[in-house]
Amino acid sequence: MTRIDNNAVSVRGLVKHYGDTKALDGVDLDVRQGTVMGVLGPNGAGKTTLVRILSTLLRPDAGEATVAGYDVLRQPRRLRRVIGLTGQYASVDEKLPGWENLYMIGRLLDLSRKDARARADQLLERFSLTEAARRPASTYSGGMRRRLDLAASMIGRPQVLFLDEPTTGLDPRTRNEVWGEVKAMVGEGVTVLLTTQYMEEAEQLASELTVVDRGKVIANGRVEELKAKVGGRTLRVRPVDPLQVRPFAALIDELGITGLAGTTVDGENGTLLVPILSDEQLTAVVGAVTARGITISSITTELPSLDEVFLSLTGHRASAPQDAVPADDRQEVAV
């Protein structure tokens, strides 16, 4: 990659309206060659709209964007030759076997029959799908489908890869698997723009982060910088007796250790999430556990939730209109 001075993705003043809704309201963004840019934001922040414009599926109302030096409006076909796209929903043909999916895309990318065959074999092998090669994709598990999707995006050896919420809806084990694959692709020098709702995913994969909210960029910088700026962490406490979770939550609230977003009960896992802003608060929580004589099986510190990130950066929650929603209903947003 000799084009060091040029950004792999460059976005200036991008605007997209849907009626009265401003999906994108003047977004600027630069992704340096060979890096992973995470675009972090809640549902409806405009992440998918951004990816769809950059992959030429959608025309912007105003602003400019180039990918690998190609203009999204003036050179869409050249641009399409150097990108890979994995959408929020698996974009493979479910009725076709995995191998046929990859062969078809190879042919659509102008590979010869021989090369398309070889590339399909090679990518199935690389994404551990060789055994399922002849089965229709509809019989694949969620993780396999996502891997096939990634393989399909890699056929044309893209310079820039767009991953739109690549692990949404996957269980933690499969999510780790997908993360591993993405890291491997980055190791091969691909520039990645990834959208996510999870701080954890952003930290795992991205070197730089852009936080978006209601169509606007509200913060950007290196992941460590943003983490330092947010400051908080989340403490996950698991009492041995799940029935202790709620009384414990009440106790923590009483003590006033609520970080910015407030405590959250994760009923499904029988844990309590306590946002903390300092080591003193961490100590206070541990003190409360001891004082109450609650037996706990684990206590871990995690990255701040999207809510914490948003509260510290903007002063409002990620899901602003739903402020009134009780803590338990916000599970999928937290952590």
Partner 1 sequence: MTATATAPVPMADTPISVRAHLRHTGALVRRNLLWIRQDPESMFDAILFPVIFTLLFVYVFGGSIGKSLGGGQQAYVQYVVPGLMAMMGMNMAQGVGTGFNTDFNSGVMDRFRSLPIGRGSVLFAKIAVELMRMLFATAVLMVVAVLVGFDITHWSGLLASVGLSAVFGSALMWVFLTLGVVMKSAQSVQAMGFLVLMPLQFGSSIFAPTNSMPGWLRAFTDYNPLSALADTARGLMLGGPVTHSLWITLAWSVGLTAVAAPYAIYKFRTKS
Question: Which CB atom, from 109 or from 286, has the smaller least distance to partner 1?
Answer: 109
Measure the CA–CA gap between 242 and 152, rounded to whole angstroms: 44
Contacts for 52 with CB less than 8 Å, ≥ 6 apart: 58
Options 90, 193, 205, 206; binder of partner 1; rule CB under 8 A: 90
Q: Does 104 bind partner 1 (CB under 8 A)?
A: yes
Q: Which stretch binds partner 1 (CB under 8 A): 73-81, 119-127, 204-212, 307-315?
A: 73-81
Q: Does 118 bind partner 1 (CB under 8 A)?
A: no
Q: Does 271 bind partner 1 (CB under 8 A)?
A: no
Measure the CA–CA gap between 260 and 312, rounded to whole angstroms: 7
Chain center to CA of 176: 13
Measure the CA–CA gap between 157 and 115, rounded to whole angstroms: 13
The amino acid at 262: G
Q: Does 258 bind partner 1 (CB under 8 A)?
A: no
Question: Which CB atom, from 166 or from 275, has the smaller least distance to partner 1?
Answer: 166
Q: Does 108 bind partner 1 (CB under 8 A)?
A: yes
The amino acid at 312: S
* 241: alpha, beta or left? (left if phi > 0; alpha if psi -120 to 50): beta
- Cα–Cα distance list, 313 to 62, 150, 276 (Å): 27, 33, 16
Nearest distance, CB of residue 194 and partner 1, angstroms? 16
Measure the CA–CA gap between 201 and 190, rounded to whole angstroms: 18
Q: Which stretch binds partner 1 (CB under 8 A): 90-98, 126-134, 236-244, 284-292?
A: 90-98
Options 10, 35, 91, 331; binder of partner 1; rule CB under 8 A: 91
DSSP run (H or E) holding 171: none
Tokens of 286: 């541990």
Q: Which stretch binds partner 1 (CB under 8 A): 77-85, 117-125, 167-175, 303-311?
A: 77-85
Q: Scanning residues 152 to 191, which ones bind partner 1 (CB under 8 A)?
A: 152, 159
Question: Which CB atom, from 152 or from 288, has the smaller least distance to partner 1?
Answer: 152
DSSP run (H or E) holding 300: strand 296-302
Options 93, 200, 203, 266; binder of partner 1; rule CB under 8 A: 93
Question: Which CB atom, from 42 or from 106, has the smaller least distance to partner 1?
Answer: 106
Options 26, 34, 69, 221; binder of partner 1; rule CB under 8 A: 69
Tokens of 183: 């890291």
DSSP run (H or E) holding 248: helix 245-255
Question: Which CB atom, from 10 or from 176, has the smaller least distance to partner 1?
Answer: 10
Q: Indicate the Cα dihedral angle 109, 115, 118, 123, nearest 10°.
A: -30
Options 7, 11, 67, 70; binder of partner 1; rule CB under 8 A: 70
Options 21, 78, 300, 329; binder of partner 1; rule CB under 8 A: 78
Measure the CA–CA gap between 62 and 59, rounded to whole angstroms: 9
Options 26, 34, 63, 136; binder of partner 1; rule CB under 8 A: 136
Q: Does 76 bind partner 1 (CB under 8 A)?
A: yes
Kindly state the number of chain residues that form the binding site for partner 1, as judged by CB under 8 A: 43
Q: Does 64 bind partner 1 (CB under 8 A)?
A: no
Question: Which CB atom, from 77 or from 173, has the smaller least distance to partner 1?
Answer: 77
DSSP for 35-65? -EEEEE--TTSSHHHHHHHHTTSS--SEEEE
Nearest distance, CB of residue 59 and partner 1, angstroms? 8
Sheet-wide strand order for 271-276: 264-266, 271-276, 233-239, 296-302
Where does this chain bind partner 1 (CB under 8 A)? 1-3, 6, 52, 55-59, 68-71, 74-78, 80-81, 83, 85, 87, 89-97, 100, 104-105, 107-110, 136, 152, 159
